Every structure is written in C-alpha cells, then in structure tokens.
C-alpha cells in the first residue's frame, strides 16, 4: 500500500498563508525529530506494511508576511496512531534539505492495521534547523490492507489532526 501526501503549489499558497492563525507554537530546538523509528523485529514481521509518501512542490512566486519559500530549508514527516507506541519518522536524516522544486519524504514499514486511524504531520524548518511556526501541516487516513490512498497535508486538516492526536493519546497541544 502506498500513501501519498501531495502538496501542490495552490495548496501550499493557501496552507502557508492561513497556517498563521492555527499553527501551534514552534517546537523547542531539542524536539527535532529523530531518524526513522522502527518496530521490534518480532512485531514488525507479523504484520503487513505500508509506505507513507509526501511529495512537496515549492510554489513559484509565493509570498506571505509570516513565511516565504526561501525560509524553508528542511522538512520532516511523521505518522502517529493509537496502535503505534511512538511516532514513526521518515527514513534517512532527521531533517531532509529542501533543494530544487520538489522534495519526497517516505516512511517505510508502517504496520498495516485495517481501520486504524493514522495522523500524518509535515513540519518545515529554517536554515538553523529551527521549526517554522507557520509551516506545519497535518493529514489523516485509515490504514488498509491494499490499495492507494491520498492524504492531504495542509492547514485545513491541522486543527483536526491536532485533535485526533489528542484523542489517540499524544496529549493536547500547548498553545
């Protein structure tokens, strides 16, 4: 199963300009995500897996008072769920550099548990690897056994994603 999260130029423009009013405060510097979290081999071997993919397209000529594409230097991707002991992060370095117009992040080996609700988070960072408060997106999907899903990660799903994470036991965000 492949989960795709696609942010195209139009979605980014809306997302970035409106994230200002609903984004949580920036994470502390020590909260930079770790590289890929893995499941114990015994647990991992028992379940089918899916891949969560996020494709980010840098919008041409986009501007806002809070953030501009030039400020965005790194991205991270994570997925949470009630059946996951801890958030899973994309493979490779903790923060992936934004180079060119497209960045692809993937989280491999996410256990497939039919009907389980999952929340996907994309976070942007500046050149100093500090979170950009105006660049956080959330999306959600239900795990399945087979098929292709598209997960929209944008500002429209941010508050719902935060609420779902709280319900799933990841704590209510501190505003």
Q: Are strands 49-57 and 2-7 parallel, antiparallel or unpaired?
A: parallel
Q: Which CATH architecture has domain 2-170?
A: Sandwich (2.60)
Are the beta carbons of 33 and 78 closer than 8 angstroms? yes
Residue-wise pLDDT tens digits, 99-138: 877 777 777 777 778 888 888 888 889 999 998 877 777 7
Q: How far apart are CA 19 and CA 156, in angstroms?
A: 9
pLDDT interval class at 19 (50, 70, 90): very low
* Unique residue bearing structure tokens 């609903």: 22
Rounded to an integer, the average pLDDT of 3-16 is: 29
Which of 18-22, 80-84, 117-121 has the weakest average pLDDT?
18-22
- When mean pLDDT is compared over 39-43, 54-58, 113-117, the highest value belongs to 113-117
pLDDT interval class at 57 (50, 70, 90): low
- Residues contacting 133, CB < 8 A, separation 6+: 23, 24, 25, 26, 66
The model's pTM is 0.59
pLDDT above 90: percentage of residues in the chain:
3
Q: Which one, of 30, 10, 14, lies nearest residue 22 by Cα?
A: 14
């Amino acid at each position: 199963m492949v989960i795709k999260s696609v942010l195209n130029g139009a979605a980014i423009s809306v997302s970035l300009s409106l994230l200002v009013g609903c984004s949580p405060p920036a994470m502390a510097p020590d909260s930079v995500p770790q590289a890929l979290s893995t499941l114990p081999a015994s647990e991992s071997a028992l379940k089918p897996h899916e891949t969560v993919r996020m494709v980010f397209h840098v919008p041409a000529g986009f501007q806002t008072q809070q953030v501009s594409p030039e400020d965005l230097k790194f991205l991270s991707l994570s997925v949470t769920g009630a059946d996951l002991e801890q958030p899973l992060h994309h493979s490779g370095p903790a923060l992936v550099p934004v180079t060119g117009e497209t960045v692809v992040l993937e989280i491999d080996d996410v256990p497939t548990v039919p009907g389980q609700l999952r929340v996907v988070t994309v976070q942007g960072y500046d050149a100093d690897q500090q979170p950009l408060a105006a660049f956080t997106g959330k999306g959600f999907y239900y795990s399945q056994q087979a098929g292709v899903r598209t997960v929209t990660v944008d500002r429209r799903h941010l508050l719902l994603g935060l609420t779902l994470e709280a319900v799933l036991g990841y704590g209510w965000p501190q505003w």
